[in-house]
Chain A
């Protein structure tokens, strides 16, 4: 079976008609469902947060069967993810899409668990430390998208679990946990 990175590709990926947007409703629903799952799985295993529709994206081309998703098909599958709340368009022209393979709520829960497991309940960390420090290595938080991280932190701030403040350097912010 073909592999992309660590992901075992599903068999439909080798069936050419799945690369053409199907005109019949029931068939298309099934097609969209399969692609949605595949996109989420792929982004999860590859830690991808943003898909640019005008750039080459390995998942949207299968060189073995010489098929590639049309722009229309890409928009259709990503829009389906957007309406499921698993993705968001980053611009009005629908050229970039933010993929939430964990929902913001799930990211917030992951941050709380991370804080508890590392005994950081009353500590201060910078946002950069959370996504690239040694503590988060091996967790989903490591290397995560900054925009997504900020949104999860904001959500926790609103619940009073932490406070975000401007750090000494202009390009980074600090987080004070108070669990």
Chain B
């Protein structure tokens, strides 16, 4: 005959449950403590590492970029604040803010020529020219990081990819897919003609003319009627290296 549940059985069950809970809590606490300890160790090691390789981080752009990657993986953003341990230790906050200011200046100075769209490569080259005196070299990765910090200003600084190249946009122009395709096409020679756009992209002539007119109005293109064949060419300073020259003259 099966025993019916009695008061003793119920009490036993309650005691058992309490004990399980206690045990569980202990285990969980142990684990958290362990994790906390590991994180502290990790953090202090990362700090040690940063301290030890401070100069490399400052001077070597490749090393700097790898360090950023490592920090990102463990959820530390050395650029998040200009105060606190990381900034004090490395001074990289200031480094990127300085780059940011210089990037804005270059974009403004070259804007009349390129309509506010500049090749990342060119921008980087101009930045290095400007910073000739500074000891640290600057990589494209640094430019991108500095630009990402500029976003908080809401001034419409943005990096767009066109074909294989990256362009930095400093005016709030919206470029649609058609415009991007034309820019990509122009990378080969620095210019396109209406015929070429129609042929290569299989567009109607209206569509090609329309997109080119917009790019012209935005100051991103310049017309050239001087060629022997009499066909109008649309040049794009943002994809030619000319932007650096004209920009460098006025900087």
A residues neighboring B (CB under 8 Å): 10-12, 14-20, 22-24, 26-27, 29-30, 34, 66-68
Residues of B within 8 A of A18 (CB): 222
Asked, given contacts A26-B219, A27-B219, A30-B113, whether A20 binds B246 with beta carbons under 8 Å apart, the answer is no
Q: Roughly how many angstroms separate A29 CA and B233 CA in the complex, as a whole number?
A: 20
**Which label, helix, strand, loop or mixed, suits the secondary structure of the A interface?**
helix
Contact B242 A12 (CB under 8 A): yes
**Which label, helix, strand, loop or mixed, suits the secondary structure of the B interface?**
mixed
Mark interface residues in B35-58 (1 if CB within 8 Å of A CB, else 0).
Answer: 000000000000000000000000
- Among candidates A14, A30, A66, residue contacting B226 with C-beta atoms closer than 8 Å: A66
Count A/B pairs, Cβ under 8 Å: 58
Among the interface residues B115, B222, B235, which one has the most CB atoms of the partner chain A within 10 A?
Answer: B222
Contact B222 A11 (CB under 8 A): no
Contact A17 B112 (CB under 8 A): no
Q: Roughly how many angstroms separate A30 CA and B113 CA in the complex, as a whole number?
A: 7
Give A72 Cβ to nearest chain B Cβ, in Å.
Answer: 11
> B225 at the A/B interface (Cβ < 8 Å)?
yes
Q: A12-B242, A16-B191 known; 6 other A-B pairs, CB under 8 Å?
A: A11-B242, A11-B249, A12-B245, A14-B242, A15-B242, A20-B225
Q: Which residue of B lies closest to A14 (CB)?
A: B242
Contact A20 B112 (CB under 8 A): no
Give B29 Cβ to nearest chain A Cβ, in Å.
Answer: 67
A-B contact pairs, 17 of them (CB 8 A): A10-B245, A11-B246, A16-B224, A16-B233, A17-B222, A18-B222, A19-B226, A20-B225, A23-B216, A24-B217, A24-B219, A26-B112, A27-B219, A27-B222, A29-B112, A66-B226, A66-B228
Residues of A within 8 A of B246 (CB): 10-12, 15, 34
> B240 at the A/B interface (Cβ < 8 Å)?
yes
Residues of A within 8 A of B224 (CB): 16-17, 19-20, 67
Instruction: List the 6 closest pairs (A to B, CB-CB), nearest first.
Output: A11-B245, A17-B222, A30-B112, A17-B224, A67-B226, A16-B224
Among the interface residues A24, A27, A30, which one has the most CB atoms of the partner chain B within 10 A?
Answer: A27
